[in-house]
Amino acid sequence: MKIDILTLFPNMFDNFLTESIIKRAINDKKVIINIHNIRDYSKDPHKKVDDYPFGGGEGMVLMPQPIFDAVEHLKTPDSYIILMTPQGIKYNQKKAYELKDKKHLIIICGHYEGFDERIRTLADTEISIGDYVLTGGELASMVVTDSVVRLIDGVIETNSHLKDSFNNNLLDYPTYTRPADYKGLKVPEILLSGHHENINMWRHEQQLKRTKERRPDLLEED
């Protein structure tokens, strides 16, 4: 998979791309991630990327030209174009699985007080990572990238993400490691029993219990 991210703040991605699972996935050639500075595509002599809103109002608006040109430059028949915005559809694990099967993602990070409405016409989908407003789409694009890359075959063990929270609309079960008794807080006996069938049953019960208690809305989703 290839992911091209369009941003006004490329440096925000430095640590993201050079640590942990993402770094390993890049080194193992499971994914190619390119960060593009939107400003580099500006045709303005001063590399301007934003302007005042028509009709007046607060703040600056991202102009269409640099984004249109960047997308035109990067787009191929395999591209799936995502616009990060709080007005998009709310992101979840199901969408992450959908995106992991795309060959090429182009992710546009909005910034400042907004972007020219015509930029929307470029996008195959608009994604929000939650009902709150960030200063820009950068963190949101990292959330999407991280959650998709870890699902690519061979990036982490398949068993590891099959048991993740949200698969089958259930939260994950509780896990413990040594010691079996820490300051009087004891690991459930069943996990020390070595009886795998019972352990699996207990884990499934715990998933249901947790989901009912914490996220009953997930049990109503299809």
CB of 128 to ligand ADE, least distance (A): 4
CB-nearer residue toward ligand ADE: 143 or 199: 143
Find residue 83's DSSP bridge partners: 108, 126
Q: Which of 10, 164, 172, 203 is catalytic?
A: 164
Distance between CA atoms of residues 197 and 200, nearest Å: 5
Under rule CB under 6 A, residue 54 binds ligand ADE: no
Give the SS3 label for residue 75: coil
Q: Which residue is nearest to ligand ADE (CB)?
A: 140
CB-nearer residue toward ligand ADE: 133 or 185: 133
Distance between CA atoms of residues 163 and 69, nearest Å: 42
In the residue annotation, 210 being an active-site residue is answered as no
CB-nearer residue toward ligand ADE: 66 or 110: 110
User: Pairing between strand 125-128 and 79-90?
Assistant: parallel
Give the SS3 label for residue 79: strand
Distance between CA atoms of residues 197 and 177, nearest Å: 19
Residues 82-141 interacting with ligand ADE (rule: CB under 6 A): 84-86, 110, 128-130, 132-134, 136-137, 140
For ligand ADE, the binding residues (CB under 6 A) are 84-86, 110, 128-130, 132-134, 136-137, 140
